[in-house]
Amino acid sequence: MEEHIISKAIIETYTEQLISHLDVDAAIAGGGPSGLVCAYYLACRGLKVAVFERHLKPGGGMPAGGMMFNNIVLQDEARSVAEEFGITLKEYSGGLYTADAVEAISGITFKAVKAGAKVFNLIGVEDVVIREGRVTGVVVNWSAVDIAKLHVDPLAVRAGTVLDATGHDSEVCRIVEKKTGSLKVAGEKSMWAEKGEKALDENTREVYPGLFVCGMAANAVAGSPRMGAIFGGMLLSGKKAAGLMLKKLRR
């Protein structure tokens, strides 16, 4: 059990995975609940999926529940998707269920990775590649570079489809807005749970050729309300995005 062999094992296998994910069917920016759910459904269909998550731990806003009370609420419509991830639902009232936020995000993350999606944590998406009016890849860099404001050039990943699952800031869409002028990010509106959850389905779509948006980012692009710690819409939005991306890839 020599230390340098342990180091070699880590560096060699990680590098192999990174190289094999330089050309993917789907590059997902953001490993929150919606991005990971999408990754799961795409990977289940045999697609090559890379999730780039800026933070150390995947999960986005889910493990914190609401204001650090780490339970979440889901609505009846999302029950079957939640159950697919092994999330234990407790009936509350009015068609609402509660779940343990840590169990929920663990189940989603575990199943996405087991299905074959690769989560590259500590790597952020800082730009996209655009060819002839279509997003064809993402530009990535270590989060540490960003945090330390180091002058280090990024690397690029080719992708058949790209998903913005970056949450409230809809970062990838904002980049495309800034660089092309042909996508408008309206910005999220104040909290209105019911309206925000309902709007998510329609807002989950291809917003620019090759670029899809899901989760809170979808509402931010469309100018729909935020919804707080109810997560059913996030799961349904991730699933819908996977269906749309699959369709696009098959064309």
Q: What does the binding site for ligand 48F look like in residue numbers (CB under 6 A)?
A: 29-35, 52-55, 60-62, 124-125, 165-167, 171, 215-217, 226-227, 229-231, 234
Pairing of strands 96-100, 90-91: antiparallel
Residue 48, φ and ψ in degrees, nearest 5: -85, 120
Q: Closer CB to ligand 48F, residue 32 or residue 107?
A: 32
Alpha-carbon gap, residue 89 to 75, rounded angstroms: 10
Q: How far is the CB of 40 from ligand 48F (least distance, A)?
A: 13
* Min separation Cβ 6 and ligand 48F, Å: 28
Closest CB 35 distance from ligand 48F, rounded Å: 6
Q: Where are the beta strands (DSSP E) in 85-177?
A: 90-91, 96-100, 118-121, 123-131, 134-142, 155-164
When the beta carbons of 32 and 210 are compared against ligand 48F, the nearer one is: 32
- Whichever of 137 and 250 has its CB closer to ligand 48F, that residue is 137
d(CA 181, CA 174): 10
Query: Of the two residues 5 and 56, which places its CB atom closer to ligand 48F in the complex?
Result: 56
Minimum Å distance from CB 247 to ligand 48F? 21
| CA torsion angle 222 226 230 234 (round to 10) | 30
